[in-house]
Amino acid sequence: MAPSRFFQAQSVSFAYEGQFEPLFKELRFQVSISGSEPARIGLIGPNGQGKSTLLGLIAGRFDPAEGEIRRPKGLSIGMLEQDPLARYGDVTLHAFITSPFHPLLKIRDELHALEASFADEGQPPADRLQRYGDLQQQFMALGGYPEYFTSSKYVRCEARRMKDV
């Protein structure tokens, strides 16, 4: 059985600068995730009640005024801004959505370039084979090699999965 992963808030208080009352005061919660598969967790509530702020605290984008948020090592949290253009300028939605994967995509591209050079050379040099092995390990550690992983296929697959929810 895979170990349980969790994140938790302990006595978290948070207010935006200039805000009279804190948005959160003495907030406590724990979310446990079991299994080794990636988990998708939704947060639902009325507009203006602090959902985005809470996700920002969990993701580490904001620091609590008091208390602490504990996250497991290796936890990856994806969060789509409500208005990405306001924060990131004029980017396409595809570029914005795939931006967290840029390190992974860069490694994938280097792996593909090495593969193409290996096909042209016959027996590749040992240092380039070593580089290829190192890149494969990095790629897997970052979550690479799901069967659908190319940037456009990945986004389409995730969009399909979200429709099923």
Shared-domain flag, residues 112 and 93? yes
Shared-domain flag, residues 107 and 151? yes
Shared-domain flag, residues 71 and 109? no
**Percent of the chain's residues with pLDDT above 70:** 75
* Enclosing H/E stretch for 158: helix 151-164
Using the 3D structure, point to which of 79, 110, 129 is the last residue of a domain: 79
Range of the domain at 15: 5-79
Shared-domain flag, residues 121 and 159? yes
Shared-domain flag, residues 92 and 156? yes
**Model confidence at 50, in pLDDT bands (50, 70, 90)?**
confident
In the predicted structure, residue 95 carries a pLDDT above the cut 90: no
Using the 3D structure, point to which of 79, 103, 118 is the last residue of a domain: 79
Q: Which two tokens stand for residue 19?
A: 């805000």
Shared-domain flag, residues 46 and 99? no
In the predicted structure, residue 87 carries a pLDDT above the cut 90: no
Shared-domain flag, residues 106 and 62? no
Q: For residues 53-64, give the mean pLDDT.
A: 87
**Per-residue confidence (pLDDT) for residue 114, from 0 to 100:** 92
Q: For residues 68-85, give the mean pLDDT.
A: 73
In the predicted structure, residue 82 carries a pLDDT above the cut 50: yes
Query: DSSP alpha helices (H): ranges in 48-148?
Result: 51-59, 84-88, 93-98, 102-121, 126-141
**Model confidence at 144, in pLDDT bands (50, 70, 90)?**
confident
Shared-domain flag, residues 45 and 71? yes
**Model confidence at 151, in pLDDT bands (50, 70, 90)?**
very low
Shared-domain flag, residues 33 and 97? no
In the predicted structure, residue 131 carries a pLDDT above the cut 70: yes
Top-confidence residue, 165 or 50: 50
Number of domains present in the structure of the chain: 2
DSSP secondary-structure letter at 150? Answer: S
Shared-domain flag, residues 107 and 65? no
In the predicted structure, residue 148 carries a pLDDT above the cut 50: no
Shared-domain flag, residues 57 and 36? yes
Q: Tokens 């988990």 map to which residue?
A: 39
Shared-domain flag, residues 122 and 67? no
Q: What pLDDT digit, counting tens, does each position of 36-48 carry?
A: 776 677 778 888 8
